[in-house]
Chains A and B, each alone.
Chain A
Amino acid sequence: EDQVTQSPEALRLQEGESSSLNCSYTVSGLRGLFWYRQDPGKGPEFLFTLYSAGEEKEKERLKATLTKKESFLHITAPKPEDSATYLCAVHYNNDMRFGAGTRLTVKP
């Protein structure tokens, strides 16, 4: 069965404590993997698209990487304003499927 799984479900970090979020997928025919950020009470906001294994994208303190089975969102020296839910989505064949998200809390 095609699946997109994000882990951990929730992550609490101290400000400046770097970590990574995981998005693993079991689909065939990957055409793209997307990362979104969602703040409470708001819709998701697009961050990155990754198309092939080995590709990396960076934006401020965030770096997304992709392998053949998973993607990581690395957060370097996070700040409280990075607190949000991070969603990944996988495009394969003619379908697009979201993970359930990782809720990140960064404490000052």
Chain B
Amino acid sequence: ETGVTQTPRHLVMGMTNKKSLKCEQHLGHNAMYWYKQSAKKPLELMFVYSLEERVENNSVPSRFSPECPNSSHLFLHLHTLQPEDSALYLCASSSGLVQNTGELFFGEGSRLTVL
């Protein structure tokens, strides 16, 4: 496995379900990110972890809960989502905080549909 791997690639869930998105990076990076990508909108930064500590939380609703157990793994726990949460969720990693390096390595994303 190389790069950044996200699972599942596609997820359909009801508004009352609980599910999780998983991200794993095999690049030896120490910063990981969750972004939300909606059609025709800019990427929205949701969470940033550096050395397994959350360093940024951009006013994301509490129905999204991140977890970073180690520098290689990142989860996004989903609970009681709304239809407007349907989007492509992208995980990314970088060797330092992206503000310093500029280069993010993205996974292929998890396409979430909330019914």
Contact = CB atoms under 8 A, between A and B. Distances in A.
B108 A100 contact: no
B102 A100 contact: no
A31 B100 CA distance: 9
Contacts of B102: 32, 34, 49, 91
Contacts of A31: 99
A49 B106 CA distance: 16
Category for how many chain A residues contact B: 20 to 34
Interface of B: 4, 40-43, 45, 90, 92, 98-99, 102-109
A54 interface: no
Contact of B42 (A9, A41, A98): A98
A43 B98 contact: no
Contacts of A17: none
Contacts of B92: 43
